[in-house]
Amino acid sequence: MRKNHKLPFSSLSERGRKSPRKSPSVYKNHKLLIARSSEHDEKSPNPVRAKSGFDGFKLFVTLPVIIYSLLLIFLPLVYVFFLSFQTSDNYGGYDFKLTLKNYLEAFDPSFLKIFFVSIVIGLLTTFICLLISYPFAIFLRDKPEKTRSLIIKLVMVPFLTNSLIRTYGWITLLRKNGVINSGLLSLGIINSPLNLMYNNLGVIIGMVYTLLPFMILPVVSAVSKVDENLLDAAEDLGASKLEKFFRIYLPLTLPGAFNGSLMVFIPAIGYFFIADILGGGKAMIIGNLVKNQFLIARNWPLGAALSILLLVMTFGLVKLYQKVGGDLDELGG
């Protein structure tokens, strides 16, 4: 019988480690292959190196935006900030004397009253726009895609016309012998014309009309993203329409509502042309105050200080928007 001689495991492992002897020609060919591969690597572009290198196309595309932002946004802001610390010479110019007087003067009681009125007008405008936008958004939610798209386009149509011209159009509607008062008088609803303009009411009407689309777009977007299953479950549990709104719609659409509120409130305290046209000079907001300091009082340093304070207020509201979970990329709808 032939005996099977089993080698121990250690000897097998040692044999496995031993590599077969190669002839000198094999070594020579191996070295030649290594040399050729190294030459190929040197000639071929390194993807990592190319990615981290200079990209001329990106610079070419972004250069106009950089120049625009630098010349028309950054440098004017730096100039206004520098101007706010100068001293007015009472002749429409300023002296290069650093002072905090302009910021202290901005907190004068007469100015603080205008700030308060502006904030009240801004808050009322924002609240009215919210009251209109939510029912409109819920109404659009159940409509077919084509109908919804058509209605949104109709909302955007007024933007094709200059806002100044549209504001002047409201004079025809709101004046004492205008369309609204004439219609109410002919129906016997009122005995004398209503004062619908040249006061704060006229300013609020003009602000709501001008800024309403800025509220509608983000609210419609937020309402359309609400899960239909939640609404069905609430309806199965017997929830009323008000309960569905306060327990489902409102909590889930707060970021969109805050987004729209920012886009309405900030312009509402600065659109001085609406206050001039529909307020008749009797209604003053922060925008009018800044404009008057530059164009009428010729106190540019004080106007610059008021502008910086308004800018700080705007940044504070944007930071608050981020705190509640808002995304800056979605700001503006």
Listed by start position, the domains of the chain span: 116-330
Fold designation for 116-330: MetI-like fold (1.10.3720)
**pTM of this structure:** 0.77
Mean pLDDT check: name the lowest of 29-38, 65-74, 213-222.
29-38
Taking a C-beta distance cutoff of 8 angstroms, is the pair 196, 183 a contact?
no
What pLDDT, on a 0 to 100 scale, did the predictor assign at position 48? 45
Higher pLDDT, 10 or 40: 40
Amino acid in position 276: D
143: Cβ–Cβ under 8 A, 6 or more apart, which residues?
Answer: 151
Tokens matching residue 17: 């480690």
Distance CA(148)–CA(291), nearest Å, equals: 40
Crossing angle (nearest 10°) for helices 200-224 and 109-141: 40
Distance CA(284)–CA(113), nearest Å, equals: 10
Q: Rounded mean pLDDT of 214-225?
A: 93
The DSSP secondary-structure symbol of 87 reads E
Model pLDDT for residues 101-143, shown as the tens digit of each residue = 999 999 999 999 999 999 999 999 999 999 999 999 999 998 8
What is the rounded radius of gyration, in angstroms, for the C-alpha atoms of the chain? Answer: 35
pLDDT at 61 over 70: yes
Q: Rounded mean pLDDT of 1-25?
A: 45
Closest by alpha carbon to 293, among 285, 302, 284? 302
Beta-ladder partners of 87: 95
CB atoms within 10 A of CB 18: 7
Closest by alpha carbon to 114, among 275, 260, 300, 274? 275
Residue written as tokens 């100015």?
111
Beta-ladder partners of 88: 94
Q: Rounded mean pLDDT of 18-32?
A: 49
Dihedral sign computed on CA atoms, order 252, 261, 125, 141: negative
168: Cβ–Cβ under 8 A, 6 or more apart, which residues?
Answer: 277
Distance CA(263)–CA(149), nearest Å, equals: 22
What pLDDT, on a 0 to 100 scale, did the predictor assign at position 105? 92
43: Cβ–Cβ under 8 A, 6 or more apart, which residues?
Answer: none
Q: Rounded mean pLDDT of 302-329?
A: 83
